[in-house]
Amino acid sequence: MIRRLCAAVFVSVLFFATPGLAQDKSRVTIAAPWEVTSFDPAVSGFAIQKLEIMENLVDADETGALRPGLATSWSASEDGLTWTFQLRDGVRFHDGTVFDSAAAAQALTRAWQQPGVLAKAPVSGVSANGHAVVFTLERPFAALPALLAHATTIIQAPSALDADGQPAALIGTGPFKVERFTPPQSIDLLRNDSYWGVAPKLAKASYLAAGRAETRALLAESGDADMVFTLDPSGFARLGDVDSVKTVAVPIPRVVTLKVNAGHRFFSDPRARQALSLAINRDGIAAAITRFPEAAAGQLFPPALSGWHDPALPRLGFDMEAAKGLLAELGWTAGDDGILVKDGERFSILLRTFPDRPELPLIAAALQDQWRQIGVELEVSVANYSEIPAGHQDGTLHVALYARNYSLTPDPIGTVLQDFGSGGGDWGAMGWENAEVADALTAIAATGDQTLRSKNIARVARILHDELPVIPIVWYQHTVAIASGLQGVIIDPLQRSYGLSKISWSE
Amino acid sequence: MTAARPFLAALAQRGLQALIVAVIVGIVSFAMMQALPGDAAYRIAAGRYGYDMMDAAAAEAVRLELGLDRHWSVQLFAWLGALAQFDLGRSLVYGSPVVDEIAVQLGYSLLLAAGAVITSLLIAVPVGVAAGMKPGGVVDRVTLALSVFVRAIPAFALGVVLVLAFAVQLKLFPVAGFRGPEHLVLPSLTLGLGLAAVSNRVVRDAVVDAMAAEWQLFARTKGLSARFTVLRHVLRNASLPVVTYVGVQMAYLIEGVVIVETVFAWPGIGHALVHAIFARDIAMVQGTALTLGLIYVALNLAIDLACRGIDPRTRSA
């Protein structure tokens, strides 16, 4: 009987093992860590946009330059308070319904009323006018077209909403339509044969959310996934030796930064923040933890953020003695256990961070060790990331470590204004006000004049570099493993697209 | 008729149990979510919008939208009222009906659980019977050592080893995902091996007991062959503790395989529950906990019925 059972197991193994493993030349499978949970662009827009299911009025290339999307042209009125976006003719949604100004205005009104980039812009109204969408503003805001290229402003078909007005389907105008969506793990795509633009070469594509970095590396190695995004350092190194895949690391405008509560008595003097910055061994962290030594952040804005990165700024240095000197100037003296003391109070602070990006707790541990050497005692709390905005709001935050994407929209001004404008921001300055920066940012937001913008951007970058309301630590690299047979792959540093519509298998 | 009455009584008893479980699980999970530290509106906003888009303004918008500023008793009674109409509400994070979310996730969980139990039985029954026929023999001792070894490997590590061997090296099965039956093999094997490591010992002990029983000797003495005695009497008697144990394993599998689900990128209710707790998705937590509670009741019922089917003595009692 045992022999018969073993035979049955063996036969069933053979039966299961054969199908579906040969490489399919019409399909590409993407694996990434991000789960797709919802039909709502406000929640899942990042994935819907990258998979080219829905499109924006405004598109952007991989350098961040804006180009026409579902709008063919756009212009602002003389006073800068009214923007008109002329829409493309002859576009249909995946279900065959017509894309028109009413549909676009409905989707954008919904985006504006939900938390997202539009909600933070000075928008006072969205309406349909003929075959155009019109935005009215409270004050001039030159970056509006860039906001309309963001993942939360993609255009969803009105037919995708259910009776309660909740999104219940993924219906857009993009080159791929959804064949099957199994939240939160996978999306299967089919080519949209009636796409208005150049039709993709691939007939099918799939997205698989694989939360574990080990799983993603194994998917790339076995060939089960053809493009794998966000590899851990060990997986990235191992895949470098596998012949069937290429590995690529692209610098992106995301920065690991340390938010400092400048309203707290320990940090109100810029010298205290400079001391903390001087005691950070950025080269060590970049080499040992994130494993890209060239990505140590010498300044806040990374080279990937062209126009904002200033090669002329001196690199943020590492000098323990200078750090100790600055703190001594501020009246701190070493106590019995080596921790600094002033007016009977120990320099003991709490750092908040979160585990969603696995390198953050490691960097926090490195900071704990490095700051102890200048007499600063650091306690680390690894929790939900909402603890950081919550601590900002109730004022209890000391320092927080997180990764900030300065290029949520192709024009970073929206994010920078939020972070360093008047009043600071949940993910930016805290207890820090600088009228010159606030004025310069307002000027950048209001004008399209490149010379004026550049002059103001340089001022902002210089002041942030000297005053350090947030302390940059390392810049990010976007790591990707690509099957060697794929051609036409473009890795978008702005992470707006996986480029599926341009990809094909080589013969 | 006489046989049906205790059966109906058992059914009614389990039905009442289900109702009590539903109310208690709902209230307890609600209370536990309320007791967690931190502001629920912030957690829900974080779960919805991700750290690039989440901020205090988003949290306040969520608080207003979901009425989280209402007194806790109002929120609890609203949920209980909806439950009485068989409405589990909408996920606070995803906006989709909780029932739809659970239906998808539970289906995949049950599929994986069934795959794991079948795999474990295919391994445990022959191994356990072989070991139990000669207690202390070579087979018994080798399988004991193997069981201890396999049980000691964390499911996560076992999964990665199996993937390296069968997916990356031999290319027999896919690494992860859930498109076809071939995707079920490695996660089922990972879980099944871990379960079989314990259940083959349960089978072995049951077989040893059965083999030592007086009725076994009687069956042999009255002239039945060894083979017939084992197939007809020993296996039937030994299966009682095994069926009960498999039921316990099944319940554990449906909710407790989060790590294996994550390694194999397999959607499932355990994974969904963990994410719902992190994101403070109260409606989803209550709905998931309720479903799991009811599944326990249903499993208990199924085990009762299975044991009655196997053992005629309980029927006449």
| Domain ranges across chain A | 38-173, 252-476
pLDDT at A261 > cutoff 90:
yes
State the average pLDDT over residues A263-285: 96
**Beta-sheet pairing, A66-68 with A58-60:** antiparallel
Residue of B nearest to A392 (CA): B56
| pLDDT: which is higher, A336 or B4 | A336
Over residues B246-255, the pLDDT tens digits come to: 888 887 787 6
Residue B240: both structure tokens together: 């009682």
Among B43, B68, B91, which residue terminates a domain? B91
The whole-angstrom distance between A405's CA and the closest CA on chain B is 7
Q: What does pLDDT average to over chain A?
A: 91
Whole-structure pTM value: 0.86
- Whether the predicted pLDDT of B317 surpasses 50: no
Report the CATH fold assignment for A252-476. Answer: Dipeptide-binding Protein; domain 3 (3.10.105)
CATH fold for the domain made of A38-173: Dipeptide-binding Protein; domain 1 (3.90.76)
For residues B195 and B72, membership in a common domain is answered with no
B250 with B284, same domain: the answer is yes
Q: What is the structure's pLDDT at A2?
A: 45
Residues of chain A positioned with their CB less than 8 A from the CB of B154: none
Answer yes or no: do B176 and B124 share one domain: yes
A72: Cα separation from own chain's centroid? 27
pLDDT score recorded for residue A20: 42
How many pairs of residues across A and B have Cβ atoms under 8 Å apart?
181
Whole-number pLDDT of residue A90: 94
- Per-residue confidence band for B232, with pLDDT thresholds at 50, 70 and 90: confident
Say yes or no: B59 and B122 in one domain. Answer: no
CB-nearest to A115 from B57, B93, B126 is B57
pLDDT at A24: 65
**In angstroms, what CA-CA distances link A461 with A296, A309, A451, B145, B261?**
17, 8, 15, 65, 45
Residue type (1 letter), A267:
F
Q: Kindly report the nearest CA distance between residue B56 and chain A, in angstroms.
A: 6
Q: What is the pLDDT of residue B236?
A: 83
What average pLDDT does this structure show over B291-296? 87
What are residue B180's phi and psi, to 5 degrees? -140, 180
A172 pLDDT higher than 60: yes
| Higher per-residue pLDDT: A498 or A12 | A498
| Residues 112 through 131 of chain A touching chain B, CB cutoff 8 Å | 114-117, 119-120
Q: What is the pLDDT of residues B148-206, one digit of tens each?
A: 999 899 888 999 999 999 999 999 999 988 888 899 999 999 999 999 999 999 999 98
Which range in A363-377, A415-429, A444-458, B292-306 is most confidently predicted, on average pLDDT? A363-377
What are the pLDDT digits (tens) for B92-142? Answer: 888 888 998 898 888 898 899 999 999 999 999 999 999 998 899 999 999
Q: Mean pLDDT, to the nearest integer, of A350-370?
A: 93
* pLDDT value for A23: 55
Total domain count for chain B?
2
Domain that holds residue B67: 4-91
Same domain membership, residue B79 and residue B144: no
If asked whether residues B162 and B306 sit together in one domain, one would say yes
> CB contact, 8 Å: A43 with chain B?
yes
Check which CATH number belongs to the domain holding B285 and give it: 1.10.3720.10
Separation CA A251–CA A478 (nearest Å) = 6
CB contact under 8 A, A211 and B262: yes
Last residue of a domain, one of B91, B120, B138: B91
Enumerate residues 6+ apart whose C-beta is below 8 A from B248. none
pLDDT digits over B68-101, tens only?
A: 888 888 888 888 888 888 888 888 888 888 998 8
CA B75 to chain centre: 30
Amino acid letter for position A386: S
Optimal mutation site among A386, A394, A401, A495, interface B, most CBs of chain B within 10 A = A386
pLDDT of residue A12 exceeding 70:
no
Higher pLDDT, B188 or B262: B188
Q: Is the pLDDT of residue A16 over 70?
A: no
User: What gap in Å lies between CA B15 and CA A101, rounded to an integer?
Assistant: 55
pLDDT value of position A451: 94
Q: Would you state the pLDDT for residue B315?
A: 65
Who among A1, A166, A212 is closest to B262 (CB)? Answer: A212
Question: What is the DSSP annotation of chain B?
Answer: -TTHHHHHHHHHHHHHHHHHHHHHHHHHHHHHHHHSSS-HHHHHHHHHHHHHH--HHHHHHHHHHHTTTS-HHHHHHHHHHHHHTT---B-TTT-SBHHHHHHHHHHHHHHHHHHHHHHHHHHHHHHHHHHHHSTTSHHHHHHHHHHHHHHHS-HHHHHHHHIIIIIIIS--S-SS--SSTHHHHHHHHHHHHHHHHHHHHHHHHHHHHHHHSHHHHHHHHTT--HHHHIIIIIHHHHHHHHHHHHHHHHHHHHHH-HHHHHHTT---HHHHHHHHHHTT-HHHHHHHHHHHHHHHHHHHHHHHHHHHHH-THHHH-
Are B83 and B116 in a shared domain?
no
Indicate whether B298 and B178 sit together in one domain. Answer: yes
Residues B110, B68, single domain; the answer is no
The pLDDT tens digits for A67-125 are: 999 999 999 999 999 999 999 999 999 999 999 999 999 999 999 998 888 988 899 99
Higher pLDDT, A505 or A409: A505
More confident residue, A183 or A394: A394
Same domain, B35 and B133: no
Is B4 a residue whose pLDDT tops 70? no
> Lowest-confidence range among A49-53, A247-251, A456-460, B211-215?
B211-215
Domain match, B191 and B254 both: yes
At residue B194, what are phi and psi to the nearest 5 degrees? -60, -40
User: What's the pLDDT at B307?
Assistant: 85
> What's the confidence (pLDDT) of residue A212?
86
In this predicted structure, the answer to whether residue A50 has a pLDDT above a threshold of 80 is yes
How much is the pLDDT for B316? 55
